[in-house]
Amino acid sequence: MTSLPDLKAVNDRYRMFVSFTDAEECDGEFVFSAKDNLTTRDFPSTAGSRILEGYRPPFDATPVARMREAGGFLAGKTNMDEFGFGTFSANSAFGIPLNPYDRERSCGGSSGGAACAAAVLEDHVALGVSTGGSIVCPASFCGVYGIAPTYGRVSRYGLIDYANSLDKVGILSAKAGDLAKYLPAISGKDPKDPTSCAQPGEIGTPKKVGSVAVPSEAVQGLSKGVMESFERALESLRSMGIDVETVDMPVLRYAMPAYYVLATSEASTNLARFCGMRYGQQDGDLTLGFDDYFTSFRSKYFGDEAKRRILLGTFTRMVGYADRYYSKALRVRASVISEYKKVYSRFDAVATPTMPFVSPRFDEIAGMSALDVYKADFLTIPPNLTGMPHLSVPCGYSDGMPVGLMLTADHWREDLLLGTALEWEKGFDMRKPEVMA
């Protein structure tokens, strides 16, 4: 058994955990953490929400159980935006994780705590969850590797739902090798999640891509520092023997509205169940009638962003509006998928920067409107909407802050992403953050 670092001291400084072990020794072959929206028997599971404060699930999420079976020791639950609603992990009810490269800045989100833990702790594997970019965004901001697999590759049993048709469990780590090792460990059919049972087979042996396409739409609106790092990254890809070409993917611009319609529609039904009757917070005023009780309890315990998404999602499902929003968004998703498929007939993957800017400072975030925040995800949303596997690798630094390169491959082609990441890691000069506990 190896000894664990002083998690309390580390967490006091970076706030990556919502809850963590008080053990001093690692009772396993490796240490891992789980995002707090994955259910665990031995830690509360709150999904970053006060409405679930104190909730101790009676079962382990399948990915958590599989990590334990692979010899993993669960060190704690990582902080996140409430139910995954956010880009900066600033929408958590339990504090905000701080960027290891600059504590004035965000870790990204919504798996911010996971990326922070992967960057700060030695030999740490973090389970993250992505709905619209929640793995690659924080991986990029914290300078680590992160992969979100094909939708349905990893069982969602035990994942507290944000948007069931978009949610994917994946892995973040400072080492590309961990992604290649542990993604297969958590993948595979699970009878408890029927959507995991459609996968064609296991992830193939990692293999480097031969060619990538860069959509012209993706290199607009980038910060100067990100643009420079991205261009250097494309040079590095070429030097690895990979063809790089620019393509047009005009349909990508419709991905964002379609994503927000589908994600909020589903989220508003998923959040309907939370009312303090059966689990989590239970201190509602039981002398009220059910409707008043329900409204007052939810008003008190949901955060603002959760309320916003419930309202948006309820609106887009309403009679008379569903055709205009929900049904149309389903059609847009289909056309974005076919746009990618067209590109895959000529290229192995699509390459873009992961985020249009490096991690912003918290005072900058405070000045952003909800819409500004939503727009920050314009690069990560298309692959998420299509359910295609995508990966962020650290590809450079701008003013000391990490920049990420994102690769997206066709459904079930995680092998291409993992193979490329392994190759990339050999040639990339990674800067570790200066960690002080």
Q: Which is nearer to another protein, 314 or 398 (CB)?
A: 314
Q: Does 132 bind another protein (CB under 8 A)?
A: no
- Write out the DSSP string of 255-279: HHHHHHHHHHHHHHHHGGG-SSSSS
Copy the structure tokens of residue 306. 């959760």
> At closest approach, how far in Å is the CB of 272 from another protein?
4
216 among known catalytic residues:
no
Look at residues 247, 63, 240 and name the one whose alpha carbon lies nearest to residue 155.
63
Amino acid identity, position 287: T
- Residues pairing with 169 in the sheet: 129
Q: Does 322 bind another protein (CB under 8 A)?
A: yes
Q: Does 290 bind another protein (CB under 8 A)?
A: yes
> At closest approach, how far in Å is the CB of 161 from another protein?
8
Q: Does 319 bind another protein (CB under 8 A)?
A: yes
Longest Cα–Cα distance in the chain: 70
- Per CB under 8 A, which of residues 46..75 are in contact with another protein? 47, 52, 55, 57-59, 61
- Total chain residues near another protein (CB under 8 A): 47
Give kind and range of the element (H or E) at residue 235: helix 224-239
Block residue for tokens 């989100």: 109
Q: Does 81 bind another protein (CB under 8 A)?
A: no
Q: Where are the alpha helices (DSSP H) in 143-223?
A: 176-186
- Write out the DSSP string of 46-76: -TT-GGGTT---SS--HHHHHHHHTTEEEEE
> At closest approach, how far in Å is the CB of 217 from another protein?
28
Q: Which is nearer to another protein, 59 or 400 (CB)?
A: 59
110 among known catalytic residues:
yes
- Residues pairing with 405 in the sheet: 353, 393
Pattern 146-165, another protein, x by CB under 8 A: ----------xxxxxx-xxx
Q: Does 277 bind another protein (CB under 8 A)?
A: yes
Alpha-carbon span 172 to 33, nearest angstrom:
10
Alpha-carbon span 169 to 379, nearest angstrom:
19
134 among known catalytic residues:
yes
Q: Does 200 bind another protein (CB under 8 A)?
A: no
CA 254 to chain centre: 21
Alpha-carbon span 64 to 286, nearest angstrom:
36
Q: Does 195 bind another protein (CB under 8 A)?
A: yes
Catalytic residue (one of 33, 35, 130, 392): 35
Characterize the bridge pairing of strands 30-35 and 145-148. Answer: unpaired
> At closest approach, how far in Å is the CB of 345 from another protein?
26
Catalytic residue (one of 89, 92, 130, 134): 134
Looking at residue 4, the DSSP 8-state letter turns out to be P
Q: Which is nearer to another protein, 232 or 317 (CB)?
A: 317
- Per CB under 8 A, which of residues 217..276 are in contact with another protein? 265-266, 268-269, 272-275
Q: Which is nearer to another protein, 206 or 387 (CB)?
A: 387
**Catalytic positions:** 35, 110, 134
Where does this chain bind another protein (CB under 8 A)? 38-39, 45, 47, 52, 55, 57-59, 61, 156-161, 163-165, 191-195, 198, 265-266, 268-269, 272-275, 277-279, 287, 289-291, 294, 314, 317-319, 322, 326
